[in-house]
Chains A and B, each alone.
Chain A
Amino acid sequence: MRGAPVDFDGVWKKFRRGERHDSLRDLIPATARRLLRRGPRPDLAASEFWAVRDISFSVRPGEALGIIGPNGAGKSTILKLLTRILRPTRGTCEVRGRAGALIEVAAGFHPDLTGRENLYLQGAIMGMRRAEITRKFDEIVEFSGVGEFIDTPVKRYSSGMNARLGFAIAAHLDPDVLLIDEVLSVGDVAFQERCVARMRTMLARGVPLVFVSHNLSAVTSLCTRAIVLARGQMVFDGAPADAVREYRGVLPALDASADADDGRDVPIRITGVDVSAPGSSPATVESGGELRVRVSYRAARPVDAHIAIDIHSADGVYCAGINTQMDGQNLGPLTGAGAVDLVIPRLSLLPGCYLISAGILDGRRLHALDVQSRAHPITVYSTRRDFGLVCLDHSWEHRLEVVTS
């Protein structure tokens, strides 16, 4: 749509793979080769690839667009194109007005400067005037919760404080367009709630929003529309709930096409993975609640195999890896079609978005026969406010020492 606040029109972006020439030693032979080689240059050299392929979308005032897709699908490239850090190889990309990017919110911070000095510097980098920063100063400090440490050099800040101060500055920019990249993982639950509230206020004022995230539940609750990317291409554009369904469909397809490439004879295949939790919508689990993962298979011939399940957090931390062999569970030779259920009675993960991988391993050599890597997202929710990845079963005991004088 012409004239929309965000307009992405037939955008392609090419990147070079591997090493660049960054010393003269490499430049001279490369230039010589280029001069000697006659004829037009090919469209895409062997070392190049398209990170974004022919993507078009626009965002209207008051609209919140979610962008989801597996790692390497081109989500971050799109955000960098929107923030004008990168320029499209083909097509046009336009953002009208001041773009507030909640991306790398503390990028301009210098460790030796105090919070106050950095606040003014970062504000100026984001395009705020001095008077504007001075006017909003107290509000920003209040929002960040940094409080009395505002005159301490930020090298003494925790990473959470850094990010909170950065986010607070970005959130007070009063942008015409808001661009967000996975910032909801910043800070504690209370701060996250404040961030979401702030985004909703801006959205209600008609500020369009582009939100890139792995957190599918945040996308469905915040966005009015979502697009799904896979390998640089847009595979879906529509309602967030449908997009999430589409996203789950895309992942196994990607793995299957990767498998098809090597063309080897596979004795057994995963035909489906179902993640469920009793009493809640699929793939949403309460911290400490039950989680079931059903791996369905079809074997071409009897095969001695084990089932493995891995859990990664959305930002890639390997949280858990379990398999039937380590548990001493003998499944016997798998024949025909069947399913194996993994039951986790108390899922001791803290709230967040996690990705489940399922694999069938060869019984003796333990190499993978078929894998669906990080294909199944689950969202864990809870009222607990612990920090970290896992919620440990715990209690406190306080012993008073009797002092005898």
Chain B
Amino acid sequence: MALDVVREQVEYRELLVRITGRDLLLRYKQTAMGFGWAIFMPLVNTAIFSIVFTRVAPVDTGVPYPLFAFCGLLAWNWFASSLRFAVTSLSSNASLVTKVYFPREILPFSAVLVGFADLAVASIVLVGLMAYYGIVPGPALLALPVVIAVQLLFTTAVALLLSMANLFYRDVKYLFEVAITIWMFATSVVYPIERVGGRLGVLLALNPMTHIVDAWRSILLEGALPPAGPFAATAALSVVACAAAWLLFHAAEFRFAENV
């Protein structure tokens, strides 16, 4: 069964590209700023958190704070915006889901790819910031594709589950907004999470997103590889979660048309 699922996806690969292209094109057509939004949002957030965490409650981040925050937000936004798209990806394409057959996982997959396109655009600003602060990434940069792959798998796993859940229970869309805000502050996006400490700190260390976001920063800003143990565990978890979510999605797929 697992093989069939992948084979079908390969067969429909052009549709994934088309649907992703459609969503990107629509954003470009429907908004005046187009891809400018991908840069604007993390910049605004970086400015706000820079004021909070350098003037109101200064934290020691090791690297210049704006760089720390922007890099964290970049990785986090890929995760969060992919999921925001994915939650409604099946329910907002109801006319397709009820009327035409195609592998439905293409819709959440494309949500993740659209989020990645935003990351690619916003990374231009990161390069600018790094040049400004005089930070040159070392050979550790070669490991970045691995971090991207791990985040891709983990995001896809959550995207598949959320899109499916929202189809059966529309509350999920609202719950998601609350959950993603909590999750962001439970991840080392705008402050180093290890500062939390205590029993809560131990619990927070189990959050896979923290290890992924920290890996981005350690490779790009510190020129070092992320700690092998926790990162390997996160990678293994992502692979298993993605495979399990995909199989679950596939098993529930035939009920989608009756539940939109």
The proximity string for B residues 118-133 relative to A, scoring 1 for CB distances below 8 Å and 0 otherwise, is: 0000000000000000
Interface SS, A side? loop
Interface string of B93-136 (1 = CB under 8 A from A): 00110111110000000000000000000000000000000000
Q: How many A-B residue pairs have CB under 8 A?
A: 73
- Contacting pair B101 A83 (CB below 8 A): yes
Measured in the bound complex, the distance between the Cα atoms of B10 and A132 in whole Å is 17
Cα separation A22 to B95 with both chains bound (whole Å): 18
* B185 in the interface (beta carbon within 8 A): no
Report yes or no: A104 in contact with B99, Cβ–Cβ below 8 A. yes
Whether the pair A113, B22 counts as a contact (CB closer than 8 A) is yes
Q: How many residues of A contact B (CB 8 A)?
A: 32
State whether B101 touches A129 (Cβ < 8 A): no
Query: Cβ of A107 and Cβ of B95 under 8 Å apart?
Result: yes
Q: Is A110 an interface residue (CB 8 A)?
A: yes
Which chain A residues border B4 with CB–CB below 8 Å? none
Given A85-B98, A104-B100, A107-B96: A23 touches B26 (CB 8 Å cut-off)? no
> Do residues B100 and A125 form an inter-chain contact, with CB atoms below 8 A?
yes
| Residues 167 to 208 of chain B near chain A (Cβ within 8 Å) | 168-171
Chain B residue nearest in CB terms to A128: B14
CB distance from B94 to the nearest CB of A (A): 10
Interface 1/0 per residue, B1-29 and A, CB below 8 Å? 00000000001101101110010011001
Complex-state Cα separation, A83 to B254, whole angstroms: 12
With a cutoff of 8 Å between Cβ atoms, the chain A residues found around residue B96 in the complex are 107-108, 125
Contacts of B25 in A (CB 8 A): 113, 117
| Interface positions of A from 13 to 55, Cβ below 8 Å from B | 15-16, 20-25, 27
Complex Cα distance, B168 from A374, in Å, reads 37
Least Cβ–Cβ distance between B164 and chain A, in angstroms: 13
Interface pair B257/A86, CB less than 8 Å apart: yes
Nearest CB of B to A176, in Å: 14
Q: Are B26 and A113 in contact (CB under 8 A)?
A: yes
Cα(A149)–Cα(B237), bound, Å: 51
B100 lies within 8 A of A108 (CB): yes
In the complex, which residues of chain A have a beta carbon less than 8 angstroms from the beta carbon of B102? 125, 127
Contact between B258 and A15 (Cβ–Cβ < 8 Å)?
yes
**Beyond A108-B96, A124-B15, is A85–B257 a contact (Cβ under 8 Å)?**
yes
- B61 lies within 8 A of chain A by Cβ: no
Please, which residues of chain A bring their CB within 8 A of the CB of B169?
Answer: 21-24, 27
Tell me how far the C-beta of B219 lies from the nearest C-beta in chain A, rounded to whole angstroms. 36
Contact pick for B14, options A24, A83, A129, CB 8 Å: A129
Question: Does chain B have a CB within 8 A of A84?
Answer: yes
Closest Cβ neighbor of A130 among chain B residues: B14
A124 touches B14 (CB 8 A): yes
- Complex contact B171–A110 (CB within 8 A): no
A25: B residues at CB distance < 8 A: 171
Distance, CA A21 to CA B17, complexed state (A): 34
Partner of B170, one of A23, A86, A108: A23
Q: Which residues on B are within 8 Å of A, measured CB to CB? A: 11-12, 14-15, 17-19, 22, 25-26, 29-30, 95-96, 98-102, 168-171, 254, 257-259
